[in-house]
Amino acid sequence: MATFIGFNTVNQFKKFTLTDFELIKRDLINALNIRQGELPGRPGYGTIIWSYVFENQSSTMQENVKDEIQRVVGGDPRLSVSNTEVYPQDNGLRIELTVQVVGSYTSERLALFFNEESRRASYI
């Protein structure tokens, strides 16, 4: 597997470099915190999940969220998703997904929380 090296200032105080899976996870959460169409010059980047946070929690809505997660993760050639689960939770959505780094055996189950009050996605 290639080594991925990137720069991060979120919750970092002295060491700003991230590598490999930590960098990939940071890039994923960045994509999920940007509403689709907000990034100048890249109208397809970001997500529409935020519009589903306020909807009734139906099976159709959950399938739409799963499809959107697949689309966002599919935009990163380093990742693939093998399983996604969506749960309504206090003041938002909890999404659990299993991601694998393409070209390696690194796989991890990630739990994300989309908080409607703070309008931020974060790992839990």
Using DSSP, state whether 121 is helix, strand or coil.
Answer: strand
Q: Mean of the pLDDT values across residues 83-89?
A: 91
CA 94/CA 26 separation, integer angstroms: 18
Q: pTM of the entire structure?
A: 0.82
| Structure confidence at residue 5 (pLDDT) | 57
| Structure confidence at residue 42 (pLDDT) | 87
pLDDT of 13 higher than 90:
no
Which residue ranges form the domains of the chain, and what is each CATH number? 5-123 (3.10.450.40)
| Structure confidence at residue 96 (pLDDT) | 96
98-114: pLDDT as tens digits: 999 888 887 899 999 99
- 20-33 helix and 59-74 helix, angle to the nearest 10 degrees: 130
| Structure confidence at residue 8 (pLDDT) | 54
pLDDT of 19 higher than 80:
no
Phi, psi of 23 (to 5 degrees): -70, -40
Report yes or no: 92 and 53 within 8 Å, Cβ to Cβ. Answer: yes
| Structure confidence at residue 12 (pLDDT) | 55
**To the nearest whole number, what is the mean pLDDT of the chain?**
84
| Structure confidence at residue 6 (pLDDT) | 58
Q: How many CB atoms lie within 10 A of CB 46?
A: 20
Kindly state the tokens that stand for 102.
């393409």
22-54: pLDDT as tens digits: 788 888 898 999 999 888 898 888 999 998 887
